[in-house]
Amino acid sequence: MSLVKLTGEEELIRLIKLLSDRGYRLIGPVLQDDVILYKEVGKDYRFPKGLREVQGKGYYRVFTNGKGYFNYVHGFYSPKHFLHPPVETLLKVEPSLKQNTVIESEPLALIGIRACDIKALSILDDIFINKNSHPDEHYKRKRESIFIVGVNCVYAGDTCFCGTMGTGPFIEEGYDVSITEIGEGFLIRAGSERGKEIVEQLRGEEVGEKHLKKEKDLIEKVREKTKLDLDTNDLHKKLLSKLESPSWNDIEKRCLACGSCTMVCPTCFCYEVRDEITLDGTSSTRIRSWDVCFREGFSAIHGIPVRSSIKARYRQWLMHKFSYWFYQFGTYGCVGCGRCITWCPVGIDIREEVKKLVS
Ligand code: SF4
Ligand code: SF4
């Protein structure tokens, strides 16, 4: 068994301090503007306590119930926002600069990350590094300096479907430290050598069979809740025969092509690169920013869009997530986080759309 301790609330505070002492910039869940967001926090950070979150189709609310620390899942930010940020400077060209490439890679601790988002990180790793014949130095350098404190979900939102996609709710790998809230305390587990060095310094009791069973029972309940009546075996192949389904016409009547789903998705990675040149021509900055496949011009070749209808653009998005991605990278591009359902302004539910297509 990996190193695991049963601790109290005060050790959550010590965990933050230990990370801060090691020079990590800390990113943790914070309640702001009525949403729980991942945000930069200081060394005095406390996990928000007693918050309960409700998510549904185009619906998000947080309220206080005073119970526990982890009765919420995630807001619209995901780790992607910190590793592949919405806007990023790649290169600066000025006569006085010795080094042109700009790479920001200060050590970052991502705190409170859930299993689906950790899986999404491994998918981004494949895209930017492992399965990329030209690994992205900007992503790679940031990724190397990240410390992950995961949280195993003992509560699931109504839009979560990690149990279906096989990505959660328990964090199997890809973390340094994980936390499970089990009522009588927190199980804090080390998932790496760096994590072990931290967990060894926390005060805690020995973990018994009853604690592990409690954890397992809580996790299994969440797994069951997040399992849909959807067989994901060969889903990528089944969907290929649905390119002319009438379902796409129905989606077109509802979808606004706003791209909100792609912004919140932890695996959507498309971007554009542009050079901004000063008027006097003495310097230039190369900037990368997210792009959106729902934009008409996204697919333009010689100025003419290949996917000119919303139907074609939604189809591209869904098919990429659940079919083409599999052929490109060997996994689905969806981790079942449910964000695109919650943050779609017209409440389009990707679970229902996939089910309709293959039923
Ligand atoms: S599915 Fe929803 S969020 Fe995505 S582009 Fe259409 S309207 Fe916007
Ligand atoms: S497609 Fe939707 S549910 Fe799947 S990972 Fe992206 S945001 Fe989450």
What is the reported pLDDT for 95? Answer: 82
**Residue 255 identity (one-letter amino acid):** C
Mutation choice for ligand 1 from 253, 254, 255, CB with most ligand atoms inside 8 A = 255
Average pLDDT over residues 98-116: 87
What is the reported pLDDT for 233? Answer: 95
DSSP codes of every residue in 91-133 = EEE-TT-S--B------EEEEEE-HHHHHHHHHHHIIIIIT-S
- Judge whether residue 214 has pLDDT over 80: yes
What is the reported pLDDT for 198? Answer: 97
SS (H, E, C) 161-215: CHHHHCCCCCCCCCCCEEEEECCCCEEEEECCHHHHHHHCCCCCECCCHHHHHHH
Any idea which residue has 């130095």 for tokens? 137
**Residue 345 identity (one-letter amino acid):** P
Going by alpha carbons, the residue nearest to atom 4 of ligand 1 is: 261
335 CA closest ligand 2 atom index: 5
pLDDT in tens, 297-333: 999 999 999 999 999 999 999 999 999 999 999 999 9
pLDDT band at 289 (very low <50, low <70, confident <90, very high): very high
- Judge whether residue 13 has pLDDT over 70: yes
Asked if residue 216 lies in contact with residue 148, where contact means CB atoms within 8 angstroms, the answer is: no
Mean residue pLDDT of the chain comes to 95
At residue 89's C-alpha, the angle toward residues 87 and 93, to 5°, is 150
Ligand 2 centre and the CA of 99: distance in Å? 38
pLDDT in tens, 325-356: 999 999 999 999 999 999 999 999 999 999 99
pLDDT in tens, 119-165: 999 999 999 999 999 999 999 999 999 999 999 999 999 999 999 99
pLDDT band at 103 (very low <50, low <70, confident <90, very high): confident
What is the reported pLDDT for 94? Answer: 86
Rounded CA-CA distance 223/207 in Å is 23
Ligand 2 centre and the CA of 181: distance in Å? 25
- Judge whether residue 293 has pLDDT over 60: yes
Average pLDDT over residues 229-241: 96
Ligand 2 centre and the CA of 249: distance in Å? 21
Mutation choice for ligand 2 from 160, 322, 334, CB with most ligand atoms inside 8 A = 334
pLDDT in tens, 78-90: 999 999 999 999 9
For helices 310-319 and 350-358, give the axis angle rounded to 10 degrees. Answer: 90
What is the reported pLDDT for 170? Answer: 98
Average pLDDT over residues 9-36: 96
- Judge whether residue 1 has pLDDT over 60: no
**Is residue 203 classed exposed, middle or buried when 0-12, 13-18 and 19+ CB atoms within 10 A define those classes?**
exposed
Mutation choice for ligand 2 from 292, 337, 342, CB with most ligand atoms inside 8 A = 337
Rounded CA-CA distance 43/66 in Å is 24
Rounded CA-CA distance 116/5 in Å is 24
Ligand 2 centre and the CA of 76: distance in Å? 11
* Local structure of 38: helix, strand or coil: strand
Name every residue whose Cβ is closer than 8 Å to that of residue 33 and which is 6 or more positions away in sequence: none
Q: Is the backbone of residue 190 left (phi > 0), alpha (psi -120 to 50) or beta?
A: beta
What is the reported pLDDT for 97? Answer: 72
Name every residue whose Cβ is closer than 8 Å to that of residue 275 and which is 6 or more positions away in sequence: 284, 285, 286, 287
Name every residue whose Cβ is closer than 8 Å to that of residue 357 and which is 6 or more positions away in sequence: 239, 242, 245, 247, 318
What is the reported pLDDT for 111? Answer: 98
Q: Which two tokens stand for residue 28?
A: 């943790």
54-58, 173-177, 198-202, 278-282: which range is least confident on average? 278-282
Whether 333 is in the pocket of ligand 2, judged by its Cβ within 6 Å, is no
Residues across the chain: 359
260 CA closest ligand 1 atom index: 3
Q: Could you tell me the pTM of the whole model?
A: 0.95
7: closest CA among 147, 209, 206?
206
* Local structure of 61: helix, strand or coil: strand
What is the reported pLDDT for 99? Answer: 66
What is the reported pLDDT for 197? Answer: 97
Q: How many helices (H) and strands (E) does the chain have?
A: 14, 14
Whether 27 is in the pocket of ligand 2, judged by its Cβ within 6 Å, is no
Average pLDDT over residues 31-46: 95
- Judge whether residue 102 has pLDDT over 90: no
Q: pLDDT > 70: what percent of the chain? A: 99
* Local structure of 34: helix, strand or coil: coil
339 CA closest ligand 2 atom index: 7
